[in-house]
Structure 1
């Protein structure tokens, strides 16, 4: 069996862990660092849960059953979240969403409050205002640092070099 198939089976088995384990994982707790022994115990447990005939090997049918259970659990979780969201949107609790109820969930734009720090950062002459020259200076300086051959154009090579250097 190829290593990719083994990894896929391990991933499926891990994803199909009992919902009690998932519920425990959802509780905020001090995260212990993962250990090989912990992983081995988890693998043993999920393998035994998938090996329904207890013969020490997984058949295609057993793996299919595990995948089906995992898919069913995922669908149920999504449906539950959708029902919860629908309940929040359905203001009059009549089981139907009106256009107004639906649109009420849309995010509202809020100012970030970053105007003052931005002015302080860009306002080179400290007059409390940002001119076009002050506004463009940081970006143009960054452009000029990246434009290695100073031809006024950022080539793909110059962009890659800048990305690799974190500029």
Structure 2
């Protein structure tokens, strides 16, 4: 006995198929062609071909579709990076992946820490005063050497 269960995703597919066909300027879609497309889509979801879609089959089909789309996008990106088209990324082609603009940078934290006179620049003297002050704060026995134990006590080392 077959139970026909039409999940919302399948109905949405059918509606999208009709809309795409109309936008593409193709011939109108007949009811029988629409049903044939829907049956094909249903069969794609029905992994064990028993005429019933389980949540597991739906998730499995959606995961496979997502994987296929991710692989398609990866292939497109790879092709764009493989500028000589030899199917191998050279170190120079791979370096093109680096996008330093994607990493936010901000001078404010460093200026706040080291610009003691707040004039918008850090002089070597200001830098040394702050860093030597940090060293002296960690060097609790004041012997001029920062040990691992002192760094641990300061929360810097494990």
- Report the TM-score when normalising by structure 2: 0.40
Pick the structure with greater CA Rg. Answer: 2
Higher relative contact order (CA 8 A, sep 6+): 1
- Report the TM-score when normalising by structure 1: 0.38
